[in-house]
């Protein structure tokens, strides 16, 4: 019979909360949550709130309607609407105007809620999870700290914090979040930012009315830059340049009455990834011809991929590994509100799109950054000089991870796939070291399964964590 042991979860976001929810601990065990926002367990950076003095508080919105995040969130949203409404009205009154039709109809599931509001919901769930463990006699500790190194000896795991302090644990789960944006050389400087998130205050301080801001990438993070600019300056003063290789994300709007998700019929097998994606494209075109929109396409294909599994569609493992980034690109979605504002400002000439591939960025001095661009179509090279640059690209063809995860990869404790674009874990989220598990949106393979879509949805993370904890229960019983 084992004695009390110490289970450590490094991370404080949705992945960490998902692991903690169905974790089996007994009275006398210790559970420690370690992260930069451990006191708001469940939020992480993705759904964190901003300071009360920040004009951009509640500016960032979910990329899908609230109902896509589960009926329990919709019920919580509606039950707490009185308090939520007063807070949003103080910061983002235009959001209330845009959402008025759905709100007047009591259709909270169709509303694109502020991400920080969803974060409040997740934090409430997270505290409930920790309270559940505490009531069962588990000693629960939430520590605001940064883990920089992880080692193992005959006594268990040694975790080194940024302060130099060392703590010990018997088992460790690492859930520190997904990959960082692709980098483009010397792309960081006083007015050149490698990411929007966490840099809002500094960016707001360097913005000037009528000054051009350049976004490196056209995904949903670019729309958050627009929301930030709308929060700190008059809309007539916004000037935004967007450099993108492809099209913008598509709006995902829930109509009333709701339409059912599409039902894909593709069964395979296909000779390679290109053949599968061509079949997907043809079927999507047929669905669109019948009136389907992203609101019906995305959930339909998510369900199809989960039910079918890539292994039944593509016999070749190497071909299955090519699917995820290309398939996800076909179902990118973004906030209806932000896309509508983007289109309006683009029509007014205040937003300009540049299409091509960024090959090099040099933050030369404050207020001067040079960008080398290979134009789409002509493939000619051009250099652009701009004032303020914000990297809003995705991971691209690299996998840049946090310091701790990078160390696990370097030491061979965590494996990368053959294309170096994703991480591989066992069926129970096991790494190469016994007692250490890993879960984040950077995971692309679990056991023998190659994932078709990234683990970005909270419900998908929860399902994977629950399955892993069930495997852990079985293995403990067997031993």
Give the pLDDT score at 110: 93
Alpha-carbon gap, residue 381 to 364, rounded angstroms: 19
Partnered with residue 181 across adjacent β-strands are none
* pTM attached to this predicted model: 0.92
Gyration radius (Cα) of the chain, Å = 23
Give the pLDDT score at 473: 65
Four-point Cα dihedral 334, 249, 44, 147, nearest 10: -170
Average pLDDT per run of 10 along the chain, which is 479 residues long?
A: 83 94 93 95 92 95 92 96 96 92 94 96 96 97 96 95 96 93 88 94 96 93 95 96 86 84 93 96 97 94 92 94 90 86 95 92 93 83 92 83 93 92 94 96 95 89 89 58
Match 């993705």 to its residue by tokens: 46
Assign 56 to helix, strand or coil. Answer: coil
Alpha-carbon gap, residue 184 to 455, rounded angstroms: 25
Sign of CA pseudo-dihedral 160, 165, 166, 171: negative
Domain boundaries, the chain: 6-60+114-179+399-478, 185-249+334-391, 251-331
The answer to whether 323 touches 276, Cβ cutoff 8 Å, is yes
Nearest to 108 by CA among 63, 64, 75, 69: 75
Partnered with residue 169 across adjacent β-strands are 157
Give the pLDDT score at 3: 66
Could you check whether 6-60+114-179+399-478 and 185-249+334-391 share the same CATH topology?
yes
CA distances (Å), origin 388, targets 102, 237, 381? 37, 15, 21
The answer to whether 232 touches 204, Cβ cutoff 8 Å, is yes
Q: Would you state the CATH architecture of domain 6-60+114-179+399-478? A: 3-Layer(bba) Sandwich (3.50)
Partnered with residue 357 across adjacent β-strands are 374
Nearest to 194 by CA among 205, 185, 183, 203: 183
Concatenate the DSSP letters of all residues of 108-174 into one string.
GGGS--BHHHHHHHHHHHHHHHHHHHHHTT-EEEEEE--EEEEEEETTEEEEEETTS-EEEESEEEE
Q: Is 121 exposed, middle or buried (0-12, 13-18, 19+ CB in 10 A)?
A: buried
CA distances (Å), origin 445, targets 19, 70, 266, 313? 17, 25, 22, 16
Q: Is 16 exposed, middle or buried (0-12, 13-18, 19+ CB in 10 A)?
A: buried
Assign 321 to helix, strand or coil. Answer: coil
Alpha-carbon gap, residue 386 to 390, rounded angstroms: 11
Q: Give the pairing type, strands 415-416 and 212-216.
A: unpaired
The answer to whether 203 touches 188, Cβ cutoff 8 Å, is no
Give the pLDDT score at 219: 86
Quick one: fold of 185-249+334-391? FAD/NAD(P)-binding domain (3.50.50)
């Amino acid at each position: 019979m084992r004695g009390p042991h110490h289970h450590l979860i490094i991370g404080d976001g949705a992945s960490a909360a998902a692991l903690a929810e169905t974790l089996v601990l007994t009275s006398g065990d210790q559970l420690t949550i370690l992260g930069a926002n451990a006191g708001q367990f469940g939020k992480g950076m993705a759904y964190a709130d901003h300071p009360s003095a920040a004009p951009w508080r509640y500016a960032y919105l979910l990329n899908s309607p609230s109902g896509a995040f589960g009926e329990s969130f919709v019920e919580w949203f509606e039950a707490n609407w009185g308090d939520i409404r007063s807070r949003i009205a103080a910061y983002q009154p235009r959001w209330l105007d845009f959402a008025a039709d759905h709100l007047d109809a009591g259709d909270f599931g169709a509303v694109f809620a502020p991400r920080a509001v969803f974060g409040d919901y997740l934090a409430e769930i997270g505290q409930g999870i920790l309270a559940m463990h505490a009531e069962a006699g588990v000693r629960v500790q939430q520590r605001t700290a940064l883990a920089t190194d992880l080692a193992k000896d005959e006594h268990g795991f040694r975790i080194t914090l940024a302060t130099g302090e060392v703590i010990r644990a018997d088992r460790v789960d690492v859930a520190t979040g997904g990959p960082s944006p692709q980098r483009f050389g010397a792309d960081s400087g006083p007015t050149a930012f490698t990411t929007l998130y966490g840099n809002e205050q500094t960016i707001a301080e360097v913005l000037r009315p009528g000054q051009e801001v350049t976004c490196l990438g056209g995904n949903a993070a670019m729309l958050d830059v627009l929301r930030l600019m709308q929060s700190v300056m008059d809309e007539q003063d916004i000037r935004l340049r967007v450099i993108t290789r492809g099209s913008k994300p598509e709006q995902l709007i829930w109509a009333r009455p709701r339409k059912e998700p599409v039902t894909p019929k593709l069964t395979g097998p296909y000779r390679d990834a290109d053949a599968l994606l061509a079949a997907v494209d043809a079927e999507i075109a047929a669905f669109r011809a019948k009136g389907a929109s992203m609101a019906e396409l995305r959930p339909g294909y998510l369900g199809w991929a989960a039910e079918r599994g890539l292994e039944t569609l593509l016999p070749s493992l190497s071909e299955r590994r090519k699917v995820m980034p290309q398939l996800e690109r076909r179902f990118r979605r973004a906030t209806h509100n932000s896309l509508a504002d983007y289109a309006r400002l683009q029509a007014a000439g205040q937003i300009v799109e540049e299409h091509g591939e960024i090959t090099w960025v040099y933050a030369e001095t404050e207020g001067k950054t040079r960008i080398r661009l290979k134009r789409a179509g002509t493939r000619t090279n051009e250099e652009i000089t701009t004032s303020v640059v914000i990297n809003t690209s995705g991971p691209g063809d690299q996998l840049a991870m946090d310091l701790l995860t990078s160390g696990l990869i370097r030491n061979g404790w965590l494996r990368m796939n053959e294309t170096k674009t994703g991480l591989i874990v066992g069926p129970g989220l096991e790494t190469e070291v016994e007692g250490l598990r890993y879960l984040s949106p950077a995971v692309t393979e679990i056991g023998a399964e190659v994932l078709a879509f990234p683990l970005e949805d909270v419900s998908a993370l929860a399902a994977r964590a629950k399955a892993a904890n069930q495997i852990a229960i079985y293995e403990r019983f067997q031993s």
